A and B are shown apart, each in its own frame.
Chain A
Amino acid sequence: MAEPQSPTAVRGGGLRNTIGGVLCAFALLLIGVLAFSIRLFSVIKYESVIHEFDPYFNYRVTQFLSKNVIYEFWNWFDDRTWYPLGRVIGGTVYPGLPLTAGTIWWFINSLNIPLSVETLCVFTAPIFSTNASWVTYLLTKELKGPGAGLMAATILAMVPSYISRSVAGSYDNEAVAIFALIFTFYLYVKTLNTGSLFYATLNALAYFYMVCSWGGYTFIINVIPMHVLLCIVTGCYSSRLYIAYAPLVVLGTLLAALVPVVGFNAVLTSEHFASFLVFIILHVVALIYYIKGLVTPRLFKVAMTFVITVGLCMLYLPKLRSTFMSRVHIINLHFKVRLMLVLAPAASILSGIALSEAFKFHCVSAAAERYSAPSIVVTSRSHEGFYTFDDFREAYAWLRHNTEVDDKVASWWDYGYQTAAMANRTVIVDNNTWNNTHIATVGIAMSSSEKAAWEIFNSLDVKYVLVVFGGFVGYPIGDDINKFPWMVRIGGGVFPHIKEADYLRDGNYRVDAHGTPTMLKCLMYKLSYYRFVETDGKGFDRVFTTHHWMVRIYKLKPQKNRVRGKLKPKLKSSSKTSSMRKVGGKKNPWQ
């Protein structure tokens, strides 16, 4: 319910305006506090810790930024992941989030406030949620008025779909990107309303910040052209529209191309073509209006028939038509579930009336119960109360303190970011999942027998293998045996000797005595159930199992130097000297 604007009576209006302004500012302050505090449940319930998987990668990047200069960041080649391939981080990461947190960390530390990088990373999302609610107020005020603005800001502070991606600890791109999104739209509307080139410049710079922060920037560069097109089609063309859109396209494209991860995609990929198309359409329309203002109506009709004839001829030239048709992509077709959160600000602004008690209760309970689990710490409720399983951090800490710095750790890709960030060890595959063949290599190692797996891991210089096992505690989220079908499928997709049918008994994966021989002999099964059902490992030494058996770490046994009494050459020889001696210089392909 939007409150009506202050009455236009001049006498009492001045004082009322001032009081209204002060109240508004105070309300905004409270909304900011609300947005911040509703996201702190996980810090209160657990501790100040970074959640899930992707945030650990962002945390590692921010750590790097805090220790090195910006040029080293742009040129950073990370050799501690995707071993032995490495990853070009400078060119494949959206730098907005780590740069933002890194700048704030640097600024606060220069004031001699000793906040750690981790603390700052945990609280970046709540801080920027506060900022997001304030710019929502600004945007809605531009559209409707201060009353609606306050309402929209409150709703945005509390809406669960936004909270889910911006709780304290959820250090991911959306934390700053949603703020950048709303801010860019606010500046666009402001430019449209005022026609000021100054706001147009600010709009382009805000768009630049959005491009730096999130791949969802393509949403802006498609929605704004659609709005411009709508304005033109409904006859609302004005010169302010030109000032709002044309500089944004040129400056925005250039600024987007400046960000390394986008680069030339800013002009070459289909997601941006809508903006160029509407840019051209806008210029044609502007020219038409200009000519209309210059000549008499009759001559204007003549001009238009001429233009339309030329246009139709061009359209029917085959070559031009094919290039035109193949480039028409108005709507961005890639919608992930997470993108629902992009609609959250719009929903908040539109539903200015929904502030009922039920809604408030729903938001707070959703924030407290459903979206505040850090997932690195698992909890369960028993009759005694809360019980936490901190096995993941136990395992990473063990790795950190009991292995050499250059030791390589192999695990399924889910744990890559966390291992790299918390255990500080080189990993083979991580959540970036950019190389399917490399993931498949790990997959077939997990699916093969111990000897074959040893060969594969040895070729990758792996020292330790990490598996997640939920059989002891009934781990609800999904351990590696739960993910095993994917290891088989992905591995089998690249290396055909792994066939999923070998692991299935009557169409099901069985891990009890009825499992298929291939299943019972494979590495993942053996490593998960070692000493659970009294199997022993030949090539792998169990070195660590966490308190609740959730994470199990195995060390690759080194090759034997000598094999006594063997004269025949062996195919899978564990001794390189004997194979080279016996088989007369046959080169082991993995060396």
Chain B
Amino acid sequence: MPRATTDARLLIQSLSRAYAATPTNLKIIDVYVFFALATALIQVAYMGLVGTFPFNSFLSGVLSCIGTAVLAVCLRIQVNKDNKEFKDLPQERAFADFVLCNMVLHLVIMNFLG
């Protein structure tokens, strides 16, 4: 239906325009998230090829990618100036929390990697 296609095109245009307006620091975090998720997908595809053994290494690898993505999203939420809930939170504190949580995550990953 022509109306649906024009609507879809309008939607995509609107989305890309709004996204282009986001600040650079948030876009950097978005690239990081995308990179982490892409790594996770590559690992899953590789697992599909060679099988799940050793399973703990597979879990460790995929969950580390998903974990860093999730933590980066949390950082993005806290650093976003449009987010009124976190306007009192200093950016350094947000980043420090992000680093701490990542350290715990990677300590666990390295332990579980085998």
Chain A residues with CB under 8 Å of chain B are 195-198, 200-201, 204-205, 238-240, 242-243, 246-247, 250-251, 253-255, 257-258, 264, 267, 286, 291, 293-296, 299, 302-303, 306
Contact = CB atoms under 8 A, between A and B. Distances in A.
A299 B11 contact: yes
A305 to B, nearest CB: 9
Given A196-B97, A198-B97, A204-B104, A254 B109 contact: yes
A202 to B, nearest CB: 10
B54 to A, nearest CB: 11
Nearest 5 CB-CB pairings of A with B:
A197-B97, A294-B18, A250-B67, A239-B77, A246-B70
Given A296-B14, A302-B8, A254 B63 contact: yes
Contacts of B14: 294-296, 299
Given A195-B86, A239-B83, A247-B67, A295 B18 contact: yes
Contacts of B39: none
B78 A195 contact: yes
Contact of A250 (B94, B105, B111): B105
Contact of B63 (A204, A250, A296): A250
Given A251-B101, A295-B14, 7 more contacts: A201-B104, A205-B104, A246-B74, A247-B71, A254-B108, A291-B15, A306-B8
A393 B75 CA distance: 60
Contact of B59 (A205, A251, A267): A267
Contact of B101 (A197, A264, A302, A303): A197
Contacts of A201: 97, 100-101, 104
Contacts of B78: 195, 197, 243
Interface of B: 7-8, 10-11, 14-15, 18-19, 55-56, 59-60, 63, 66-67, 70-71, 73-75, 77-78, 82-83, 85-86, 89, 94, 97-98, 100-101, 104-105, 108-109, 111-112
A162 to B, nearest CB: 31
B112 A258 contact: yes
A512 B104 CA distance: 67
A238 B84 CA distance: 11
B47 to A, nearest CB: 13
Most buried by A among B19, B73, B89, B112: B73
Interface of chain B, main secondary structure: helix
Contact of B11 (A196, A197, A258, A302): A302
B59 A257 contact: yes
A258 B108 CA distance: 8
A198 B73 CA distance: 15
Given A238-B85, A240-B85, A267-B59, A246 B73 contact: yes
A258 B111 contact: yes
Interface of chain A, main secondary structure: helix
A250 B85 contact: no
A198 to B, nearest CB: 5
A251 B104 contact: yes
A204 B70 CA distance: 14
Contacts of B111: 258
16 contacts: A195-B78, A196-B97, A197-B71, A197-B75, A198-B101, A200-B101, A201-B104, A205-B104, A240-B85, A251-B104, A251-B108, A254-B67, A257-B112, A258-B111, A293-B82, A306-B11
A251 B11 contact: no
Nearest to A295: B14
A259 to B, nearest CB: 11
A204 B8 CA distance: 41
Contact of B70 (A250, A296, A303): A250
Most buried by A among B18, B77, B83: B77
B55 to A, nearest CB: 6
A497 to B, nearest CB: 43
Contact of A295 (B15, B73, B94): B15
Contacts of A239: 77, 83, 85-86
Nearest to A296: B14
A250 B67 CA distance: 6
Contacts of B67: 247, 250-251, 254
Contacts of A295: 11, 14-15, 18
B104 A250 contact: no
Nearest to A240: B85
B15 to A, nearest CB: 6
Nearest to A246: B70
Given A240-B85, A264-B55, A295-B14, A247 B97 contact: no
B10 A299 contact: yes
A247 B69 CA distance: 10
Contacts of B74: 197, 200, 242-243, 246-247
Nearest to A204: B104
A254 B100 CA distance: 16
Contacts of B75: 197
B37 to A, nearest CB: 11
Given A201-B104, A239-B85, A253 B18 contact: no
A254 B101 contact: no
Contacts of B101: 197-198, 200-201, 247, 251
B85 A254 contact: no
A556 to B, nearest CB: 46
A195 B85 contact: yes
A242 B77 contact: yes
A246 B66 CA distance: 10
B10 A250 contact: no
B107 to A, nearest CB: 10
A257 B101 CA distance: 18
A197 B108 contact: no
A251 B105 contact: yes
Given A239-B83, A242-B73, A255 B108 contact: yes
A251 B77 CA distance: 19
Nearest to A294: B18
A295 B105 CA distance: 35
B98 A197 contact: yes
Contacts of B108: 251, 254-255, 258
A406 to B, nearest CB: 37
B81 to A, nearest CB: 13
Contacts of B71: 197, 247
Nearest to B64: A254
